[in-house]
Amino acid sequence: SVQMKRLLTGLLGILLMFSIGVGIVEAKKPVIGVVEFSNTSGAYWWRGGMGWELSGMVTSELSSGQKFDVVERNKLESVLTEQNLGASGRVQKGTAAKIGKITGAQYLVMGTVTAYEESVKGTGGGIRLGPVSLGGKKESAYISIDLRVVDSTTGKVAFNRAIEANSSGGGLGGGLSWGQFSGHLGGFEKKPAGKAVRACIMEIVEYLECAMVDKGNCMSEYHAKEQRRKAKTKKSITLDE
């Protein structure tokens, strides 16, 4: 009947609008690429190639969260090598735009390990000489990564944050799979260094999801963390004077 045809036509129209709407929502996912991390901390465990290993781990976590369209590490690595960007973080406006055009990345994520501290404590004391601990029982580690997100269109930093994490011999639960530790980092996965790196990567991904996708109320937590970090830094400077 005519009425039935109109009803079916209306339903098809609604389904078509819904499918188009879903496509639009999916298209709005930020396209992001994670470049090679660098290190200025002097951490004893840092080796050549670890910068791309950290990049790969962050890339995997961002992909699993499904809030970003993530450029494959191999594709990004080859482009950055051709552009001679390396791990120095040298991103000029023209270079960033070219990388974005080639890879499709709207944003480039960069990270620099700026601080790493490790200690061993116990009833009999203990010291750490590089990767060797003597006499201690409880191990802990602290790591800080300077995170920057560069807009590939403008070459300017769109988001930046100091990401900090702590770990202890008691372990760290949930989140990142140990299976993602490979290469040089694989030898540190169950040590304080590996646990601190793991915690930092989780924090990086959660921050990016909040700042770039979720936005709103979740940012208040990070503003509070930043205030505590600044207060702690100011206090330590005062004590050193």
Instruction: Name 160's bridge partners.
Output: 148
Q: What angle separates helix 50-65 from helix 73-82, to the nearest 10 degrees? A: 140
Q: Please determine, for residue 158, whether its predicted confidence score (pLDDT) is greater than 80.
A: yes
Tokens found for residue 66: 């499904």
Query: What would the DSSP string read from start to end of 154-181?
Result: T-SEEEEEEEEEEEETT---SSS-GGG-
How far is the C-alpha of 130 from the C-alpha of 127, rounded, in Å?
A: 10
Confidence of residue 122 (pLDDT cuts 50, 70, 90): low
pLDDT band at 25 (very low <50, low <70, confident <90, very high): very low
pLDDT of 234 strictly over 90 = no
Percent of the chain with pLDDT strictly greater than 90? 33
Q: How is residue 15 written in tokens?
A: 């389904």
Bridge partner residues of 173 (DSSP): none
The mean of the pLDDT values for the chain is: 77
- The confidence score (pLDDT) of residue 190 equals 74
Q: Which of 35-49, 91-105, 115-129 has the highest mean pLDDT?
A: 35-49
Q: Give yes or no for a contact between 100 and 30, defined as CB atoms under 8 angstroms apart.
A: no
Read off the pLDDT of each residue in 36-55 and give the average, rounded to a whole number: 90
Is 68 buried (19+), middle (13-18) or exposed (0-12) by CB count in 10 A?
A: buried
Provide the CA 1 distance to its chain's centre, in angstroms. 59
**Would you say 50 and 185 are in contact if contact means Cβ atoms under 8 Å apart?**
yes
Does 83 have pLDDT greater than 50? yes
pLDDT of residue 108: 92
Q: Quick one: pLDDT at residue 69?
A: 96
Overall pTM surpassing 0.85 (yes/no): no
- pLDDT the model gives residue 202: 93
Q: Provide the percentage of residues in the chain whose pLDDT is more than 70.
A: 63
Whats the size of the chain, residue-wise?
A: 241
**pLDDT tens track for 101-111:** 889 999 999 99
- Give the residue ranges of DSSP H helices in 49-191: 50-65, 73-82, 93-103
Question: Is-contact 128 120, C-beta < 8 A?
Answer: yes
pLDDT tens-digit map of 192-212: 888 889 899 999 999 999 999
Residue pair 45/141 in contact by the 8 Å Cβ criterion: no
Nearest to 124 by CA among 116, 133, 132: 133
